[in-house]
Amino acid sequence: MTSGSAAYERRSAAPVIAPVRPRKLAKVPFVELAEGRLQGVVSSGSDVERVYVSSITAGDHGLSCNTNNNRPCGGLSGGTRACNHLRALADAAVAQYGLDRVARYLKVTVPDGSDDLWSGLHTTTAPNRAAEVFAGFLRHLAYLEVPSTTEPLPDLHWFPAAGAVS
């Protein structure tokens, strides 16, 4: 095929949706509702080289959190009590998509008057999906590097290798 089709695929692969409200890209550089999960990448609070890959499955609310080196998260107690990374991920998703959309996707019934996604989650343990989610994150970064814009790319500030952090 021609090179034109490759460019088209790249454009269509990662739709950019304006966030409902600003969110902290440094804390959660990547969040998406995809493949039946809320999933994303959360920075470690203490180590800039480490990120956590966290996900919550739609329907059964299975929690998963592992480092990018595929080690289990120590904060995910018993596999059913959310660690700080999962909470940060959920916060970022609500900021990005709005509570209603996230709740609908995960099949969560948030009690009337509540704006806390967790109050409607009945969590369980999910299989480790860190490898596929992290691969999606890397594709997302590759998409951002497409030189079709002169605008700043705030997501890349998270990566020390991008030169944003000295």
Rounded least distance, CB 63 to Zn ion, Å = 9
CB closer to Zn ion, 52 vs 97? 52
Rounded least distance, CB 41 to Zn ion, Å = 11
Question: Distance from first CA to last CA of the chain, Å, rounded?
Answer: 42
CB closer to Zn ion, 81 vs 156? 81
CB closer to Zn ion, 65 vs 90? 65
Rounded least distance, CB 164 to Zn ion, Å = 24
CB closer to Zn ion, 114 vs 125? 125
* Sign of torsion over alpha carbons 89, 96, 98, 46: positive
Q: Nearest CA to 140 among 125, 159, 165?
A: 159
DSSP3 helix / strand / coil % (the chain, rounded to 5): 35, 20, 45
Helix axes 130-144, 3-13, angle to 10 degrees: 120
Rounded least distance, CB 154 to Zn ion, Å = 23
Helix axes 99-106, 84-97, angle to 10 degrees: 120
Residues at the site binding Zn ion, with contacts judged by CB under 5 A: 52, 65, 73, 75, 83, 85
